[in-house]
Homo-oligomer: A and B are copies of this chain.
């Protein structure tokens, strides 16, 4: 499994991804699932992937090959005129990879599936955040739904729903994502450190702060250990209920 979150704030976009992949519990590996592209000063894009690793790696490889062949008539992530076109390009690539695996009689429609979160900004437009499905279609985040999760989404959702604030700065947003990931990692073996963090500040058109967060990262340890105590304190602070002790 996997856990990735893309978060939209008034200052920009924040992305966090785990790195654990598994084929059963006895075959666990570490793979990067967060990919970036940049034309400094003009565009910056971040893609996070969940689902079949062969599918998602094939999609990223195809996208990269197009970037290396600028004279080709195929559009590339480095040249498409908008984030909408970038989402279209990735969606089409994703669908074609999945369809190609289904030819020749493989029946399963779900084995090769993947979902992706795409965020970024191209000069001339505001930042955009998309959730791309394996059918190649996608939805865009709005102020009512300012974040997307993919993979093992349930454990870490309650804190996102409660503590998200569109005005939060990048440090607070990172802290919120760390709490959400910590809740997930404590409850589910298929999500694990290290984590990848990437920040895109609005109107910089560059990749901002990024970091690989190892299990020994002092910020991660402080949040993870502190959250246990904070949750217990929060629980203590609740009023008593009228039940015979």
* Sample (22) of A-B pairs whose CB atoms are under 8 Å apart: A154-B155, A154-B187, A159-B231, A159-B235, A163-B231, A163-B232, A163-B235, A170-B244, A171-B244, A174-B243, A175-B235, A175-B238, A175-B240, A175-B241, A179-B235, A199-B243, A209-B244, A223-B238, A226-B238, A227-B234, A230-B234, A233-B234
Contacts of A231 in B (CB 8 A): 159, 162-163, 234
Contacts of A244 in B (CB 8 A): 170-171, 199, 208-209
Q: How far is the CA of A5 from the CA of B242 in the complex (A)?
A: 19
Residue in A178, A209, A240, A243 whose Cβ sees the most chain B Cβ within 10 Å: A243
Q: Which of A187-217 contact B (CB under 8 A)?
A: 187-188, 197, 199, 208-209, 211
Q: How far is the CA of A163 from the CA of B234 in the complex (A)?
A: 10
Nearest B residue (CB) for A240: B171
**Residue A239 CB within 8 A of the other chain:** yes
Q: How far is the CA of A167 from the CA of B219 in the complex (A)?
A: 32
Q: Which of A161-193 contact B (CB under 8 A)?
A: 161-163, 169-171, 174-176, 178-179, 183, 186-188
Contacts of A227 in B (CB 8 A): 234, 238
Q: Is the CB–CB distance between B171 and A243 below 8 Å?
A: yes
**Residue A68 CB within 8 A of the other chain:** no
Q: How far is the CA of A98 from the CA of B63 in the complex (A)?
A: 49
Q: Is the CB–CB distance between A187 and B234 below 8 Å?
A: no
Q: Is the CB–CB distance between B162 and A232 below 8 Å?
A: yes
Q: How far is the CA of A145 from the CA of B218 in the complex (A)?
A: 30
The 9 closest A-B pairs by CB, nearest first: A154-B154, A230-B234, A219-B241, A234-B234, A158-B183, A169-B245, A171-B243, A174-B243, A163-B235
Contacts of A234 in B (CB 8 A): 227, 230-231, 233-234
Q: Is the CB–CB distance between A178 and B233 below 8 Å?
A: no
